[in-house]
Amino acid sequence: MTLLQVDNLRVSFSLYGKELQAVRGVSFEVNSGEAVGIVGESGCGKSAAVQSILRLLPASKIEGKIRFDGVDLLEKSEREMREIRGLKIGMVFQDPMASLNPTMTIGAQVAEGLIFHGIASKKEAKTRALQLLREVEIQRPEERLNQYPHELSGGMRQRVLIAIALAAKPRLLIADEPTTALDVTVQAQILDVLKKRSSATGLLLITHDLTVVAEMCERVLVFYAGKIVEQGPVSQILSQPRHPYTQMLLRSIPHLDRPRAERLQTIAGTPPNLLAPPQGCAFAKRCPYAMPICKKEPPFIGSAACWRELPYS
């Protein structure tokens, strides 16, 4: 069952008197219980795309369709969106210290959404908050309830954000770089917590790490310069990527079976300036396979947005 359907999404910001086109015509779906990954370099439009779903970009211009349960969220009022945020769609942000209120205890912040949405009384919400801290495997949860964000480690704070996002048992969970700046051990623990969400809850996971996507997701969307350049089942994308950008991302990941002396591949150059997007393929200037047509016409061919879908080698 289709839970979220995004159709021709465009997100732009006014900057220096010009229009910054952060997301340029993106379409995708998330089904109930399905985990979909979004990967790409910083600045490629991942966060802008997912934050627009919850209408968290007030200074932006958003066009297209964002249907959740068949209803277009772009037609909802701000009051109606407050009823959806946290209750039907949960969000785990990248930086817990910027997301958590430093003046409120952990218990009060986990319980706040339950009380706001009328799910539980203050007493019931406190009990549920304790249960949620146990579910996200925070040690000594009774003690943490009365502590403040600065008293917790980075991994614990991220677990608190997940507890808050899952408190009302939302149908869709959006996680925006939930393991950034965490060490490998803590990252694995956080991903394990996300795996334990309800089997009916869809997951939209934003990351720059393809190894995380391989572990967590069924499908993947590869973003570049505000567009999806390739999408499909994770197994297919990782074993037979068709777009040169996806291929180069994969070659930049360390593998245990690679010879020690072999250097990781890097992608030369930087993404284009989206104040003035290129006429043709946005990756053309960085692509070793670029042809003259790549700089003139935007590609819309096959499973990948590339004029020549290359076999992986």
Place of tokens 């994308």: 237
pLDDT tens-place string over residues 282-296:
999 999 999 999 999
User: What does pLDDT average to over the chain?
Assistant: 90
Domain shared by 146 and 43, yes or no = no
Residue 6 lies in a domain: yes
Range(s) of the domain holding residue 307: 1-88+176-185+200-313
161 lies in the same domain as 220: no
Query: pLDDT tens digits, residue range 28-48?
Result: 999 999 999 999 998 899 999
User: Is residue 299 predicted with pLDDT exceeding 70?
Assistant: yes
**What pairing do the DSSP bridges indicate for beta strands 2-15 and 60-68?**
antiparallel
User: Is 193 inside any structural domain?
Assistant: no
pLDDT of residue 227: 95
55 lies in the same domain as 131: no
CB atoms under 10 Å from CB of 231, counted, come to 23
Distance CA 229, CA 221 (A): 8
- How buried is residue 246: exposed, middle or buried, by Cβ count under 10 Å (0-12/13-18/19+)? buried
Enter the pTM of the model: 0.90
Q: Are 226 and 304 within one domain?
A: yes
Question: Confidence band (pLDDT; 50, 70, 90) for 302?
Answer: low
Same domain, 71 and 148: no
Instruction: Tell me, yes or no, whether 194 lies in a domain.
Output: no
- Classify residue 149: in a domain, yes or no: yes
pLDDT of 259: 59
pLDDT of residue 143: 96
The model's pLDDT over 153-203, given as tens digits with 9 standing for 90+, comes to: 988 999 999 999 999 999 999 999 888 767 788 888 888 888 888 888 999
Mark whether 78 and 207 lie in a shared domain: yes
Predicted confidence (pLDDT) per residue in 227-264, tens digit: 999 999 999 999 999 999 999 998 887 765 555 656 67
What would the mean pLDDT of 128-134 be, rounded to a whole number? 94
Instruction: Give per-residue pLDDT as tens, 262-271.
Output: 667 788 889 9
- Count up the domains in the chain and report the number: 2
Pairing of strands 35-39, 219-224: parallel
Whether residue 114 has pLDDT greater than 90: yes
The CATH code of the domain that includes 214 is 3.40.50.300
Residues 147 and 16 in one domain: no
The verdict on 217 and 271 lying in the same domain is yes
